[in-house]
Structure 1
Amino acid sequence: MSAAAAPAAGDAPAKKGSKKMLIIILAAVLLLGGGGAAFFMMKKNAAAAEGEEGEEAGADAGHAKAAAHAPAPKAVKHDPGHPPTYVALDPFVVNLADRESERYAQIGMTLEVDDPKFAEQMKGYMPAIRNGILMILAHKTSTELLSREGKETLAEEVMREAVRPMGIEIDPPEAEADTGKKKRKRAPVYNPVTQVHFSSFIIQ
């Protein structure tokens, strides 16, 4: 009886040890499982963050590349909004101021005006405008009108005289006085007549 009881008593500690070992193994598995899950989640989050950074970097690189290949902005030229308006004048035939011989000029000219409304208004003042231009031509000599400088001076005088009947007074360029002092200048006045184009220029 004592011999049979001894093995039974020996089995009890063995079962307790195996249960304890099983609990330790389960705890280790749980710990490893939890740690593995945590490691997996951390790795996943890190990969996601790297992916977002990569997308941002790629977007920045794309913008930089697009900016590098984008064409440079073109200079924008000033556009007055409409083409110039031309006011054609009937040809002028006038005796010149030559003393040696009788000379006359036949000149056709067109005024370039930057405002169509102003060009339309000029038609109502045309008799006074033509009279002023004829007075300018009558004081010219053939020598003055035959040179390029003379024609340019005439064009400047016509530009000033063409707007005078409409109440626009344009002062001619002022030269220095003999004393070397400059005359006091008024504020510049805007002239809607911007150019004078000669269509014919005959001196006889």
Structure 2
Amino acid sequence: MATKGKAPAKGAEAEAAPAKSSKKMLFIIVGVVLVVVIGAGAFFMLGGKGKKGEDHAEEKVEAKTPTFVVIEPFVVNLQQENGDHYLQVAMTLQVPNAPTAEMLKLYMPQVRSRLLMVLSSKKASELLTNEGKRALTDEIIDQLGEPFSGSGKGPVINDVFYTSFVIQQQ
């Protein structure tokens, strides 16, 4: 009977060994698959963001680089208060990008005409204060932001910088 009792025990061990081995193999396979999936996901996420991130960084640099359009100086008669007043002004427009700057250069006669109309409608006393200059800046941005003839929409003007601003009374 001793031999019969041992035989089932050896068979049970033999059956238990493959069960342990198959569980161990299953954990290894699941672990490897999990590592591959996580690695592939990380590769695609980091690989895709790297290229997009570089492009996005270039766009940010381009967007942050200011683009300016220089307006040549000119002289206008101001509205009369107590004698004749003249304004000699030179300015620079800040625009968001180079295509907008090119459009303004293309329509420069209309730009200068609009500026002349705005400036010649002012009185010297309105333009002597900082608040008056800020109001003038806002009005220039509004006027130049309207569409030009032949173009569908008006340009975006971010800011106006006065590089020369002289009011003279005669």
Aligned to 2:14: 37
Whether the aligned pair in 2 keeps the contact of 1:92 and 1:106 (CA below 8 Å) is yes
Give the alignment partner of residue 153 of structure 1, picking from 135, 146, 149: 135
Determine which of 78, 85, 88 is the counterpart of 1:106: 88
CA 32–86 in structure 1, closer or farther in 2 if over 3 Å, else same? closer
How many residues align? The count is 146
* CA shift digits 1:33-82 (9 cap, x unpaired): 32343344445555x27x828x85xx79xx8xxxxxxxxxx9x8984955
Identity within the alignment, %:
30
More relative contact order, 1 or 2 (CA 8 Å, 6+ apart) = 2
Q: Gaps (5+ residues) in structure 2?
A: 39-52
Cα distance in 1 for residues equivalent to 2:146 and 2:15: 94
SS of the residue 2:107 aligns to: helix
2-structure distance, mates of 1:40, 1:127: 93
Secondary structure of the residue aligned to 2:72 is coil
Native 8 Å contact 1:115 1:192 kept in 2: no
What residue in structure 2 maps to residue 200 of structure 1? 164
2: CA distance between counterparts of 1:31 and 1:125?
100
Asked if 2 retains the 8 angstrom alpha-carbon contact of 1:86 and 1:113, the reply is yes
Question: Matches of 2:21 and 2:145 in 1, distance apart?
Answer: 83
Q: Give the superposition deviation at 1:113.
A: 2.6
Q: Provide Cα deviations, 1:160-196, integer angstroms capped at 9, x if missing partner.
A: 3335582389xxxxxxxxxxxxxxxxxxx65433322
Query: 1:110·1:197 contact (CA, 8 Å) conserved in 2?
Result: yes
Partner of 2:68: 86
> Bigger radius of gyration, 1 or 2?
1
- In 2: Cα distance, 1:124 partner to 1:190 partner: 13
Task: Give the TM-score of the pair, scaled to structure 1.
Answer: 0.53
Q: Does the Cα contact within 8 Å between 1:128 and 1:165 map onto a contact in 2?
A: no
Alignment partner of 1:52 out of 9, 23, 27: 27
Instruction: Name 2:45's counterpart in structure 1.
Output: none
Matched, 1:27 2:10: no
